[in-house]
């Protein structure tokens, strides 16, 4: 079986609103997310974004932080992730054309996998 390396990365970029009260578990995850985290597959990434641990930390009534999704092969290729209470918003500030109107909104599911695959294919071939 052939081994493959990571495909996508995630890191905390900035706080954009007042910081909510965070539990010790939230703070531990935040500490991890301040370093570059990598995922071996989009499915692993989606599973992480769907996890109660991530939702507890990031998904609040008021959007308070932005995370950066990166292409593992080229960390200059990025998307911005804005966790909202009931969904995620992903912005393509580079306007690559991979996302309709340069934004994707929804829950982490197969739709997000498809959007990220399009983006990875487009920016990975440039």
* pLDDT tens-place string over residues 18-54: 999 999 999 999 999 999 999 999 999 999 999 999 9
Q: What is the pLDDT along the chain (126 residues), one digit of tens a residue?
A: 455 789 999 999 999 999 999 999 999 999 999 999 999 999 999 999 999 999 999 999 999 999 999 999 998 999 999 999 999 999 999 999 999 999 999 999 999 999 999 999 999 876
pTM: 0.93
Every domain of the chain and the residues it spans: 8-124
Spell out the long-range contacts of 78-81 with Cβ–Cβ below 8 A and sequence spacing 24 or more: 79/119, 80/13, 81/10
The residue among 116, 118, 123, 96 whose CA lies nearest residue 45 is 116
Distance CA 105, CA 9 (A): 19
SS3 of 46-85: HHHHHCHHHHHHHCCCCCCEEEEEEECCEEEEEEEEEECC
């Amino acid at each position: 079986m052939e081994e493959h390396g990571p495909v996508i990365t995630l890191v905390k970029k900035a706080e954009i609103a007042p910081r909510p009260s965070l539990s010790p578990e939230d703070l531990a995850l935040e500490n991890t997310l301040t370093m570059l985290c990598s995922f071996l597959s989009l499915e692993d990434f989606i599973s992480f974004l769907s996890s109660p641990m991530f939702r507890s930390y990031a998904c609040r009534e008021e959007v308070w932080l932005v995370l950066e999704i990166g292409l593992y092969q080229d960390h200059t290729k990025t998307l911005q992730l804005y966790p909202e209470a009931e969904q995620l918003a992903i912005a393509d500030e580079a306007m690559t054309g991979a996302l309709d109107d340069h934004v994707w909104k929804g829950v982490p599911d197969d739709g997000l996998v498809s959007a990220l695959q399009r983006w990875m294919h487009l920016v990975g071939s440039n």
